Amino acid sequence: MTVYFIGAGPGDPDLMTIKGMRTLEHCPIVLYAGSLIPREVLASVENTAEAIHNSASLNLDETTAIIVQADREGKDVARLQCGDPALYGAIGEQIRRLEALNINYEVIPGVSAVAASAALLRKELTLSGVSQTVIMTRYEGKTPFPERERLPALAQSGATLAIHLGITKIHKIVAELEPYYGADCPVAVCYRASWPDQDYVTGTLGDIVSKVREKKFTLTSLILVGHVLDTNEFNDSYLYDKNQPNLFRKKQSTKQNNPPKKQSTKQIEPPLV
């Protein structure tokens, strides 16, 4: 028996990995976060799984009890997590319980909300000469934060920021970031990226609060901050630069090739003897 923590992706069923879907389809017991994962993701197992449990209303003890019962019966469990399980998936405490109970588990990665949001915006988050770093964080709420991870400390890097679980505090986020990024720094807020009702709004730190309130985004939104979101002033990367050789590509010569010399047609007379 094995518990599979499966990254269900950001919402679009087609964005679950092939491995994730194949694993889901062979597990008789399914646990999924119904508040974050659309039921459509489960379409292929609706009529085949023995039991499908929505964990939105369950606590850790209750989800663990379901897994323990499945273990006794020798039945694999698919534990669906939204996005990628490693990012705010709360799998750490679940894994700790399984290890204490000596229950096997495996983690299958998934497409994150950050990736889905960048795709929705049709943006690259790491532009040469603008930003080569993306910091994924969340705004401080019930979860305590060390001082070095609070937004003012992170903002000193000037990196692209992807802020989860902070949409209701966006006015506070703006106030903490503006001294470092400036009021004209581009911002995008993506709501339910890849879902059928996905939406987004773009602006700057100076006007994004009013734009978000006009959109009435209150849940399931990712905040992206950084100059990569609105610039054409960046350098070409070295990845496909013809003057930058790598293991797979030799440097192209910039010298002009000289035309081959023509063979002489003059007859050479034999020496006199």
- 75 with 1: CB under 8 angstroms? yes
Task: Decide if pLDDT at 231 tops 90.
Answer: no
pLDDT on residue 62: 96
pLDDT band, very low/low/confident/very high, at 236 (cuts 50, 70, 90):
confident
The class of domain 114-229 in CATH terms is alpha beta
Residue 81: name the closest of 51, 112, 122, 59 by CA. Answer: 112
**The tokens of 51 are what?**
């039991």
Confidence check: pLDDT of 168 > 50: yes
**Is pLDDT above 60 for 259?**
no
Helix (H), strand (E) at residue 154: helix 151-155
Instruction: Return the DSSP state at 92.
Output: H
DSSP string across 26-71: H-SEEEE-TTTS-GGGGGGGTTT-SEEEEGGG--HHHHHHHHHHHH
> Is residue 179 classed as helix, strand or coil in its secondary structure?
helix
Using a pLDDT cut of 70, give the percent of the chain over it: 86
Burial class (CB in 10 A: 0-12, 13-18, 19+), 225: buried
Its pTM stands at 0.83
Give CATH superfamily name and number for 2-111.
Answer: Tetrapyrrole methylase, N-terminal domain (3.40.1010.10)
Each residue's pLDDT tens digit, 116-164: 999 999 999 999 888 899 999 998 877 778 888 899 999 999 999 999 9
Q: Where in the chain is the domain with CATH 3.30.950.10?
A: 114-229
